[in-house]
């Protein structure tokens, strides 16, 4: 249709509709402060999380067989449920940023140094992120603009890891995942290596190459990073920081009503 219905108000109920090709999403809310734009953003994130699991090939599937139940293709809807809840609680979804854990400045610098060290580099790795649950501790990416990842794609990857409870499966995991704003038609390979299971600290590395050699290289990189963090006592410091505050947003409780604290993260790019 040239002018499709995007929203409907019925008393105190807002109904918002988002259509993306053969996929149609509907949100209904009676919460006064949730605007149409906010609900549209939530639906867009759900659309992207769906694509992260199925790629844009789902559009062709629905075009051929409109009655297809995509639940059978998903296998698990935990990431979709999680991203809907997270979008309500985390401001990073609204401003297209990555939630970041508050750390001592010198510790952050040292973490960045380790992630960007020559021993940790893998030529096919798009980014290496040290994370705690859904929060970022450190991040390095390639310098080339066409290989840099969007914050929303990284949020989807973090949400996928946490909602699927990948960390409980073992020390490391290698799984395909689509990053819609990077490339919606193909999967990249995501390597997750657990560094401290008790503190939920893990290393997330994303590669555009799915060969066994790449897995071995990422594993070697993870070991180099883990050894460096342990050798310099940084892993223990990170675990202590995590126990004190799990998210940067925890610091909002210290703010008065008339003020706010804003934490930003400066990205550091390294050459492959």
Query: Using H for helix, E for strand and C for coil, what is the string for the chain?
Result: CCCCCCEEEECCEEEEEEEECCEEEEEEECCCCCCHHHHHHHHHHHHHHHHHHHCCHHHHHHHHCCCCCCHHHHCCCHHHHHHHHHHHHCHHHCCCCCCECCCCHHHHHHHHHHHCCHHHCCCCEEEEEEEECCEEEEEEEECCHHHCCCHHHHHHHHHHHHHCCHHHHCCEEEEEEEECCCEEEEEEEEEEEEEECCCCEEEEEEECCCCHHHHHHHHHHHHHHHHHHHHCCHHHHHHHHHHHCCCHHHHHHHCCCCCCCCCCCCCEEECC
Which residues have C-beta within 8 Å of that of residue 249, sequence separation ≥ 6? 90, 91, 99
Contact 114, 225 (CB under 8 A): yes
Q: How confident is the model at residue 249 (pLDDT cuts 50, 70, 90)?
A: very low
**Average pLDDT along the chain:** 85
As for how many domains the chain has, the answer is 2
Q: Quick one: 213 and 115 in the same domain?
A: yes
Could you report the per-residue pLDDT of 172-223, keeping only the tens digit for each? Answer: 899 999 999 999 999 999 999 999 988 899 999 999 998 989 999 999 999 9
Contact 49, 157 (CB under 8 A): no
Residue 271 resides in a domain = no
Query: Last residue of some domain: 89, 116, 138?
Result: 89
- What is the model's pLDDT at position 257? 42
Q: Quick one: 165 and 69 in the same domain?
A: no
CATH classification of the domain holding 208? 3.30.450.30
Q: Quick one: 129 and 244 in the same domain?
A: yes
pLDDT exceeds cutoff 80 at 87 = no
Could you report the per-residue pLDDT of 33-59, keeping only the tens digit for each? Answer: 888 988 999 999 999 999 999 999 999
- What is the model's pLDDT at position 4? 80
Give the pTM: 0.83
Q: Quick one: 36 and 139 in the same domain?
A: no
Q: Quick one: 126 and 238 in the same domain?
A: yes
Tell me what the mean pLDDT of segment 77-100 comes to: 81
Q: Quick one: 231 and 114 in the same domain?
A: yes
Residue 166 resides in a domain = yes
Tell me what the mean pLDDT of segment 219-237 comes to: 94
- What is the model's pLDDT at position 251? 44
Q: Quick one: 154 and 119 in the same domain?
A: yes
Residue ranges making up the domain that contains 47: 7-89
Q: Quick one: 132 and 168 in the same domain?
A: yes
Q: Quick one: 138 and 55 in the same domain?
A: no
Q: Quick one: 84 and 190 in the same domain?
A: no
């Amino acid at each position: 249709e040239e002018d499709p219905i995007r929203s409907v108000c019925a008393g105190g109920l807002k109904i918002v509709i988002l259509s993306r090709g053969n996929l149609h999403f509907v949100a209904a809310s009676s919460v006064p402060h949730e605007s149409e734009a906010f609900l549209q953003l939530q639906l867009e994130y759900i659309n992207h999380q769906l694509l992260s699991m199925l790629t844009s090939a789902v559009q062709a599937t629905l075009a051929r067989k409109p009655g297809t139940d995509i639940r059978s293709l998903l296998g698990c809807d935990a990431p979709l449920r999680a991203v809907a809840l997270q979008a309500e609680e985390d401001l990073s979804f609204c401003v297209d940023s990555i939630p970041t854990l508050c750390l001592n400045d010198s510790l952050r610098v040292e973490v960045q140094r380790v992630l960007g060290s020559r021993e940790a580099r893998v030529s096919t790795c798009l980014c290496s992120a040290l994370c705690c649950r859904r929060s970022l501790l450190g991040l390095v990416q390639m310098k080339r603009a066409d290989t840099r990842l969007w914050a929303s794609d990284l949020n989807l990857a973090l949400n996928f890891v946490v909602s699927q409870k990948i960390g409980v499966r073992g020390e490391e995991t290698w799984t395909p995942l689509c990053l819609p704003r990077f490339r919606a038609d193909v999967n990249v390979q995501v390597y997750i290596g657990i560094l401290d299971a008790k503190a939920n600290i893990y290393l997330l590395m994303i590669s555009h190459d799915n060969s066994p050699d790449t897995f071995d290289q990422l594993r070697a990189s993870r070991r180099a990073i883990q050894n460096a963090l342990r050798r310099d006592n940084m892993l223990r410091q990170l675990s202590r920081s995590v126990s004190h505050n799990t998210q940067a947003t925890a610091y909002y409780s210290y703010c008065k009503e008339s003020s706010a604290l804003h934490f930003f993260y400066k990205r550091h790019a390294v050459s492959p």
